[in-house]
Structures are given as C-alpha cells and as structure tokens.
Amino acid sequence: MERAVVHLHVPDFCAVLEGLRDPSRARRPLVVADPGGRAVILALNPLARREGIREGMPCAVALRRCRALQVVPPDRAFYRHAHETLLRDLGAFSPLVEGGALGRYFVDLSGTRRLWGPATDTACRMEEHFLHRHRLATRAGLAGNKLVSQVAAECVGVGDVSWVFPGGERTFLHGLSVEALPGVGAKTAGRLMDFNIRKVGDLAALSPGELLPVFGGHAPRLLRLARGEDDLPVVPFEKEATLRLVRDLERDEIDRDRIEALLFDLTEEGGWILRRRNRIPGRVLVEVRYADGVEVQVARDVKPMGQVLDRLLFETVRDCARSVIRRRVAVRRIAVTWSRFRVPLRQLALFPEAGWAEGRERRIQAALDAVRRRYGRQAVFWGVTICGHAGEGA
C-alpha cells in the first residue's frame, strides 16, 4: 500500500491566534513576547515579518524597528488548547494524527482513499476545514513520508497543497537549499557550506563512503535526509496524566528566598488540587527559564507518602530547584509538573513509618484545608510565603 502523509502547517500560529482573539490586532504588526523590554520575540504575524522583525529578536530592537508594533504576552494555555482542538478535528480524517510543534500536524492518510477519495483532495478538505471552522490559513504538503511532506509544505503558500509523487522525492528535494531539510541545523549547514554543498541535490549525490570520513556516524542520517528517505511512523498523540503549574514572574527574580516562597506557593496550589483529586504524585519535574532564555529542568521521585502534605511535597520541589537554579541569572518562569499518580492507600500500616512529626503535619494540613474550604485559599498561608508577598509589596 502506498503511504500518504500530509503535513499541515499553520504559519505564525501563536500570532495568528492572537489576531483571531482580537481582530483589531490583526491589521497591524503584532508580536508575541514575554512582558518586559528585554524579552525576545516568540512569534509574529506576517505584517511584523515584513518590517524585518524575526523570531528571537529582542523586543526592544523590534520596537525600534517598528514603532507601531503590538506586543502581546504569550498565553500558552490558550495556544496549547487550540493546538489540541485542531488535533482532535484531524482525528476525524485519520486515526494516525501526530502533533509536533504548535501549529504543525502530520496526518497519515494511507489506506483512506476509498473512504475520503484521493489524498490531495483530503488535504484540501483539511485546509478548508481549518479555514472555515477555525479561520486558520494553512499550507499543506503531501508525500510518502513525514520528512518530505514537511519540506513540501514549506514550499507553497498558505491555501496551497504541494504533492510530491511517490518516487519523486529526490527530484523534488534536488534543487532545495540544504537548510530546508528538517534536522539540518546551523552547524551542519555551516559545515556543508564550507564544502560548497548548498543544494540538497549536491549532498544526495555523494556516496556513503565519501561522506563517512567527514561526517562520521552522522553520514547515513544526513544522506537519508538528502534522499528524502524517512520511515518514521506518524505517532498519535498520547497524553500522560500530569498536573503542571506554571508561574511567569512579573519581574525577573534572583532572590533565592523569594523564588522559594513562590515555589512553596506553587506547591501548595498543587497539593490542594491533588488532595481534592485524591492523587499522590510519584515524580516531580521542575523547569526553570532564566531571563536570558536558557531553560533547565530536573526531575526527581517524590518521597513515598500516605497523603499529600504540602510541606513534604515542597521538600522535593525545593531540592530540585536548588539543584537546578545555579546560574547568576534571574529567573523568569518556573513550572512544576507532578506525574505518575497513584491513589492513596486507605489501609493503615501495621507499623506506621511516619512518626509523631508526620502526624502533626497531617493535623496542620487538615486544619489549613478546612479553613481554605470555607474561606478561600488566600484566607490562610504559611509564613515562608510572606517573603514573596512582602517582596511584591515592596
């Protein structure tokens, strides 16, 4: 059976979504960037691109280039939700739908000809669906594998479908720049440039024996890319149960006490949710984004506990944070994700592991929860978080 993989790409996904949310924005250059003059551009609309603005450019520079630029803070939950909605919609066309980065989708249409007709028609229908249902203009590439379909999509404008005939992959890729190949980054492209290999065809013409001495173990993969060979399947999206809480700091923070106060606040929120859902996490992941955009993360197993207790939960989170926040650069964003949930055991242990201290901790937690259930979460809080509150006040 002939494989048919469609790649759909919504260009400038986040910026377009912001334009749709508030149509008055769509008529002017718009960029999505974290708050603060020194944030970098995360996404932009075509009008901003026309002004010479690019992703990764400092916001201050972009504003100097274009005085009328609108800067919108990112709403990641909104983008993620929209992305998942589109994924679900595409599920109507095929059970094999893979969501890559935001606004990029692979749909395996192999064997659907009798159901939907030719794959090109289906791809057009998907584009129309996106446009009419969600007002999102897309471009589509259709080919025998994910690699070529993705490259094919980049070669056409929005609203068009690019179809690469089976067997025509090498011919199609031949004249393209090597940078068009997904997986060829700046470093590899620079090295290829040294050898004056600028077109994919030049690279594809080389034999493995010629490439191996120079590119070593990367040679076979590079050659496969250049020849349009890709046997990776389209893997449907599966979601593991997690609880992820994110804090984008209003102001970049370097003070360790204030960061830990914020983490405690985050942990309390997580603990509150977990207790209500009757889940105990087995693992925690702490992700930190610094002000210079560098992101670091660390994951650890959560110490076994019979019940979610905020202060015990925080010990692991704090240890994670201390091991990961080591640079002399302020923190801009913190995310904590709990996963590998289990249901608490109701049966009491014969020889309780927790001693008097844990019993006391349980009673405190129960009292706090009781107050919060009645008067709201902010009715009572631990003193350690006052540092954070005081800091904000100051």
Partner 1 sequence: MLCVVHTFYSFMRGASSPEALCRRAAERGHTAVLCADRNGFYGLVRFLAAARRFGVAPVVGVHLEHEGRHVIAVAKDPKGYEILCPWVSRRHLDPSFSLEKDFPDAGSHVAVISADAGFLQAVSSKVETYVGVVAGPVGRKALRLARELGIPPVALHPVYFADPEDFSLHRLVRAIDTNSTLSTLDPRELASPEAFLKPPQDAERHFPHCPDAVARGEALMRGCFADWGRFETVFPHYGDGPGDRFDELVRRCREGIVRRYGRSFPELEKRLAVELELIHAKGYVDYFLVVADIVGRRPIHCGRGSAAASLVSYLLGITHVDPIRHRLVFERFLNPHRMDHPDIDVDFPWDERDLLLEEVERLYGSHRFAMVANHVGFGARAAVRETAKVYGMSAADIAEVTRRLSGWTRPERIGERIRSHPAFRGFPLDPPWPEILELAARLEGLPRHLSVHCGGMVLAPDRVDRRVPVERAAKGVRIIQWEKDQAEEGGLVKIDLLGNRSLGVIRDALTMVEENTGRRMDYASLNPLDDPQTQSLLARGDTMGVFYVESPAMRQLQQKTCRGDFEHLVIHSSIIRPAANRYIHAYIERLHGKPYEPFHPALKDLLEETYGILVYQEHVVLCAMALAGFSWAEADGLRKVLSKKSREQIEDYRRRFEDGCRARGVGEDVIGAVWDMFTSFAGYSFCKPHSASYALVSFKSAWLKVHYPAEFMAAVIANGGGYYTAFAYVSEARRMGLKVLGPDVNESRWKCWGKGRKIRLGLQLLRGIRREAVERLLEERSRNGPFASLDDLWTRVALLPSDAVVLAKSGALDGLAGAFHRAQLLWWIHARCTEPGDKGVRHIASTRGRARGFGKTQGKLGAKNNLLERGSDTVPVPALPVPDATLLWRHEQEALGFVLSAHPLACDEAAYRKRPRPWVRAADMPRLVGETVWLKGWPITRKEVVTREGDPMAFVSFEDETAIYETVFFPDAYRRFCQTLGWERPYALRGTVEESFGAVNLAVSHLEPVA
Output the smallest distance, CB 185 to partner 1, in A: 18
Closer of 38 and 88 to partner 1 (Cβ): 38
Output the smallest distance, CB 22 to partner 1, in A: 24
**What is the secondary structure of 121-187 as a DSSP string?**
HHHHHHHHHHHHHH----EEEEESSHHHHHHHHHTS-TT-EEE--TT-HHHHHHTSBGGGSTT--HH
CA distance 299 to 337: 9
Closer of 288 and 312 to partner 1 (Cβ): 288
Closer of 124 and 330 to partner 1 (Cβ): 330
Closer of 217 and 355 to partner 1 (Cβ): 217
CA distance 248 to 375: 26
- Amino acid residing at 127: E
Do residues 96 and 108 lie in contact, with contact meaning Cβ atoms separated by under 8 Å? yes
CA atoms within 13 A on the CB side of 31: 30
Closer of 58 and 236 to partner 1 (Cβ): 58
Closer of 161 and 331 to partner 1 (Cβ): 331
Output the smallest distance, CB 197 to partner 1, in A: 7
Output the smallest distance, CB 330 to partner 1, in A: 3
- Name the site residues for partner 1 (rule: CB under 8 A): 36-38, 58, 60, 64, 193-198, 202, 205-210, 212-217, 219, 251-258, 290-293, 328-331
Taking each helix axis from N to C terminus, what angle separates 76-90 and 13-21, rounded to the nearest 10 degrees? 100
Residues with Cβ within 8 Å of 340's Cβ and at least 6 positions away in sequence, in order, are 281, 282, 283
Output the smallest distance, CB 220 to partner 1, in A: 10
CA distance 326 to 336: 17
Output the smallest distance, CB 38 to partner 1, in A: 5
Structure tokens at 4: 């048919």
Query: 10 Å Cβ neighbour count for 177?
Result: 12
